[in-house]
């Protein structure tokens, strides 16, 4: 990294650094590695680039290592000589974990909004907590929304009615919308086959 090169910083980086409660030294060192072309740890070069005393760089470096935000990997250069390279895999994995949490939270909020739309009223505290328990402990989001659709179709927008649907589906081993659709499709086809057999039955020969 040349001394004239400017750091590039994304909002997601700042957000994750905040979540990890990094101090200024840790933040700047991590930002340096995020932008560095050469990920070898050279305290002299980094101190000059960041204009931070070497002892502060070492302290931040050891702190990031102990928190497993960064780690050292042994690699070979073109000449076959081994050296330690800084890896930010720990940081990126944490970003991924937090992104999934955010996605789940957004999905959860979408489900609450969907329920309020279909119920045409705000959810009560009890309803909110029950739906939350479904999401976190019992059922997939798509199964919950399928049960909501089933209730709306039957004109029974009651949280207890939906809870009963989900309980029955759970007993049958349903986990996805597809499981439900396949079950009812098979039931419909079997019923249709039974009706066809009745119509084709030769009642005149039944006593023979």
Residues 88, 92, 94, 98, Cα dihedral to 10°: 160
**Whether the predicted model's global pTM rises above the 0.75 cut:** no
In this predicted structure, the answer to whether residue 208 has a pLDDT above a threshold of 50 is: no
Q: Which spans in the chain are helix H?
A: 11-19, 24-35, 43-50, 54-66, 89-119, 125-133, 141-153, 159-171, 177-200
Domains of the chain: 11-87 (1.10.10.10), 100-198 (1.10.10.630)
- Angle of helix 141-153 relative to helix 177-200, nearest 10 degrees, comes to 50
Q: Are 56 and 25 in contact (CB under 8 A)?
A: yes
Q: Which of 22-26, 90-94, 130-134, 192-196 has the lowest mean pLDDT?
A: 192-196
Kindly report the three-state secondary structure assignment for every residue of 84-115: EEEECHHHHHHHHHHHHHHHHHHHHHHHHHHH
Burial (CB count <10 Å: 0-12, 13-18, 19+), residue 57: buried
- Between 153 and 184, the more confident residue is 153
Q: How confident is the model over 31-48, as pLDDT tens digits? A: 999 998 888 888 999 999
In this predicted structure, the answer to whether residue 204 has a pLDDT above a threshold of 70 is: no
In this predicted structure, the answer to whether residue 206 has a pLDDT above a threshold of 50 is: no
Percent pLDDT > 90 in the chain is 38
* DSSP code for 45: H
Angle, alpha carbons 158-161-163 (nearest 5°) = 110
In this predicted structure, the answer to whether residue 8 has a pLDDT above a threshold of 80 is: no
CB atoms within 10 A of CB 20: 17
Q: How confident is the model over 164-194, as pLDDT tens digits? A: 999 999 999 988 888 888 888 877 766 665 5
> Which pair of structure tokens corresponds to residue 84?
């330690």
């Amino acid at each position: 990294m040349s001394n004239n090169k400017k750091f590039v910083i994304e909002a997601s980086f700042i957000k994750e650094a905040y979540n990890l409660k990094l101090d200024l030294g840790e933040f700047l060192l991590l930002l340096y590695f995020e932008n560095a072309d050469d990920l070898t740890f050279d305290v002299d070069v980094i101190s000059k680039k960041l204009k931070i005393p070497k002892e502060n760089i070492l302290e931040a470096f050891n702190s990031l290592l102990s928190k497993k935000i960064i780690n050292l990997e042994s690699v070979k250069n073109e000449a076959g000589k081994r050296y330690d390279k800084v890896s930010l895999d720990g940081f990126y994995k944490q970003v991924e974990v937090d992104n999934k949490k955010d996605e789940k939270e957004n999905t959860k909020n979408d489900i609450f909004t969907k329920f309020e739309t279909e119920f045409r009223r705000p959810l009560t505290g009890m309803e909110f907590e029950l739906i939350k328990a479904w999401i976190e402990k019992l059922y997939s989001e798509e199964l919950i929304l399928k049960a909501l659709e089933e209730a709306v179709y039957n004109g029974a927008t009651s949280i207890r009615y939906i809870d009963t649907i989900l309980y029955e589906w759970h007993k049958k081993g349903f986990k996805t919308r597809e499981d439900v659709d396949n079950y009812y499709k098979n039931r419909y086809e079997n019923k249709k086959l039974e009706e066809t057999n009745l119509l084709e039955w030769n009642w005149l020969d039944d006593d023979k």
